[in-house]
Amino acid sequence: MNEDILCSRMRICRRKASNLWVTTLHLHGHREVTVSEMNKTRLEIVGKMNTGYRLVTPDILEKEKAEFDVIIDCTGVGKVMEINFHYMRSGGKYVLFGCCPPTHQASLNPFDIFNKELTIIGIKVNPFSFPNAIGWLKAMGDRYLNYESLGVKTYALSEYQQALDDLKKGLISKAVFKIQ
């Protein structure tokens, strides 16, 4: 992650794999981070990471009219991107990490992007980053990569329906199947 992207106040739209964003930002020393998530149970999972980050639902941000230097959008929902642009400070950076389906649309005003000097950054998985990822895993260790802290739960393959139900309810962030 480039240090110039990571400014003093950020908002992370937390969903799916973004627990790793939370831990990565914390590992890199960022402490003024706001995590926004609609599902309160998922926010509780982030709270168990003991980062000290501010955890709020989107309605709170809307009421506060908050603005951020960086937004890392992990939702994969085009409409969320459209809404989030209202929270950008001048010179802000919008990181689109969640993969939106090709059918999703977002209406953005090009003048607002120009006038506020905003930057949009799209992130796609790089298959050649494996050696760097191994070093990253070593640096993060159990403090950040503990399954329980990340909201990851292991299921027997025969429990697949329970795993899907838990994901839908937001009780877990990921399901891992143990095959014996």
Q: What is the pLDDT of residues 40-98, one digit of tens each?
A: 888 898 998 999 999 999 899 889 988 999 999 988 888 888 888 899 999 999 998 87
Q: How many domains, in total, are found in the chain?
A: 2
Same domain, 74 and 158: no
pTM of structure: 0.77
C-alpha to C-alpha distance for 111 and 85, rounded to whole angstroms: 12
Question: Checking DSSP bridges between strand 174-178 and strand 10-13, what pairing results, if any?
Answer: unpaired
Instruction: Please indicate, yes or no, if residue 134 is contained in any of the structural domains.
Output: no
Residue ranges making up the domain that contains 166: 151-180
C-alpha to C-alpha distance for 5 and 137, rounded to whole angstroms: 21
Confidence at residue 3, expressed as pLDDT on a 0 to 100 scale: 31
Same domain, 56 and 95: yes
Q: What is the CATH number of the domain that holds 97?
A: 3.40.50.720
pLDDT in tens, 102-148: 898 889 999 999 999 999 998 887 777 778 888 888 888 888 888 88
**Dihedral Cα 84, 88, 92, 94, nearest 10 deg:** 0
Confidence at residue 55, expressed as pLDDT on a 0 to 100 scale: 92
Instruction: Map tokens 């003024």 to a residue.
Output: 32
Neighbours of 16 (CB within 10 A): 16
